[in-house]
Amino acid sequence: MTGKVWLVGAGPGDAGLLTIRGKQVLEQAEVVVYDALVGTGVLQYIPKEARIIFAGKRSGNHYLKQSETNKVLLDEALKGHRVVRLKGGDPFLFGRGGEELELLVENGVPFEIVPGITSAFAVPAYQGIPVTHRDFCSSVHIITGHKRAGHEYDIDFDALVRSRGTLIFLMGIAAMPDIIKGLTDAGMDPGTPAAVLEKGTTAAQRRITAKLNTLEEECRRQNVQTPAIIVVGPVCALADTFSWYEKRPLAGVSVIVTRPKESVSGLSAMLREKGAEVLELPAIETVPIDKNERLIEALKGFSDHSWDWVVFTSPAGVRIFMEKLLEDQDVRVLAGTKIAVIGQGTQKALIPFGLKPDFIPSVYDGATLGKELAEVCGPGERILIPRASIGNKALTEALDCGKGLCVTDLPIYDTVYTSSGVIDEKALLESGQIDFAVFTSASTVKGFTAGIGDMDYSGVKAVCIGKQTEAAAKAFGMKTFTAEKATLESLTDCVEKTAAALKKKNQH
């Protein structure tokens, strides 16, 4: 059976600028062929089970020749696979998308195009440069700055200058001297505002502005790196007036979030709202224990009021417990049983099931939960704790308080360490591209380090949700910063305050 190919535009870099349709298609891919210009954050959406083929093209260095890439798409589709060709920006804007379709059309392979947000418009927008403005220009022109080795430019510079529009050169850093000469020779005012926008829409983005005739010298002085685009026109003068990206509290800050996949979105959203570039790289997975006879028996006990309390220590515990309960019963069977939770995150996990907790400790950790719950329990009360198989003993030890409480510590899921099969976390950390790693449990720290392996972790700045998590991070030599409260809001505030303090320190 013939498969299908999707040409997906990955956008300019920021994972938030990948289209909804692009994300949907990518998450269902069986084979992904991607380029070097695809943002690291976009790669996090590639399914773990998908086969990945790197076709990286950048600055004349090609991992696969174009003809080889075309054939890979054809061969994988003919094997019956769902193939995603993931391309930076938009696949039809200097992305050779048309060339890649030709072989598919010749062989009758079905395909779809998923347009992407082009860096030509998104990158200037992130730097406060409107590509059109009726007080300055009435057109915008996108030109490839790349030329084949040994060939002259096939660009009508005279026509571009006569247009009096905004000029955007993609892939043009190496050819900047030729571009500037072509424009000035065609009569453009050497004093025209211009800009080079480096690594746009990412935490590392940078803007170099100058007049056209001094742009090359300024870029050399500031050691401009690719990828970058060149913008020429009066609208570049508006950059300072319309700048917005750098005004957010976490602008320029890159963060790894290590929570399990099913729990990661809330924390990531809070960090992104403040301007951080977030990489969602779950360090652990929660896997329900298969054929859990003890859980089945425990659930039967609710119908005859065998439990006075059920205690949840994680959102995963709530989800897995309730899914199993609802297979044969409904929430009414919990009537008469009190519910305790370890903190606000676990409390929120109850909401979809129409439940509210009867007890939350003053401090969100196992020892406090056990100590304070024991104080409100009556002698001999029966307590069920459905949680991870590696649950912290501090909770059960605190409940052993001399009241004769009948505590059943019931493992319902295993915590499994995991890591990305696409993103090289170790390389990102060692190269200084990551500012903070955020940990919400000791197990996420252990999963994170297990996935990376041997490394000097002393350069890792770990933002931790509590003391136990902090201790786990310190055990690996990480520099730790701990939230005041064990909540996602406090964790986000900790990232913001720490980033601000470090920035201020570096400025001095």
Q: Report, as residue numbers or ranges, the catalytic residues.
A: 35, 57
Spacing of C-alpha 244 from chain mean position: 21
Q: Is residue 278 within 8 Å of residue 268, measured between CB atoms?
A: yes
Spacing of C-alpha 82 from chain mean position: 23
Residue 236 sits at the vertex; the CA angle it makes with 170 and 41, to the nearest 5 degrees, is 50
Residue 273 sits at the vertex; the CA angle it makes with 271 and 278, to the nearest 5 degrees, is 40
Structure tokens at 186: 């065609």
> What does the H/E/C string look like for 64-119?
CCHHHHHHHHHHHHHCCCEEEEEECECCCCCCCHHHHHHHHHHCCCCEEEECCCCH
* Gap between the Cα atoms of 461 and 448, Å rounded: 13
Q: Is residue 230 within 8 Å of residue 169, measured between CB atoms?
A: yes
Pure H helices in 235-314? 239-242, 264-273, 293-300
Sheet containing strand 382-388, strands side by side: 284-288, 406-417, 382-388, 309-312, 338-341
* Coil, strand or helix at 319: helix
Structure tokens at 195: 């800009």
CA dihedral 166, 167, 171, 176 (to 10 degrees): -120
- Burial of 454 by CB count in 10 Å (0-12 exposed, 13-18 middle, 19+ buried)? exposed
Half-sphere exposure of 380 (CA within 13 A, CB side): 1
* Gap between the Cα atoms of 316 and 286, Å rounded: 7
- Burial of 141 by CB count in 10 Å (0-12 exposed, 13-18 middle, 19+ buried)? middle
Sequence-separated (6 or more) residues with CB below 8 Å from residue 407: 383, 385, 396, 399, 400
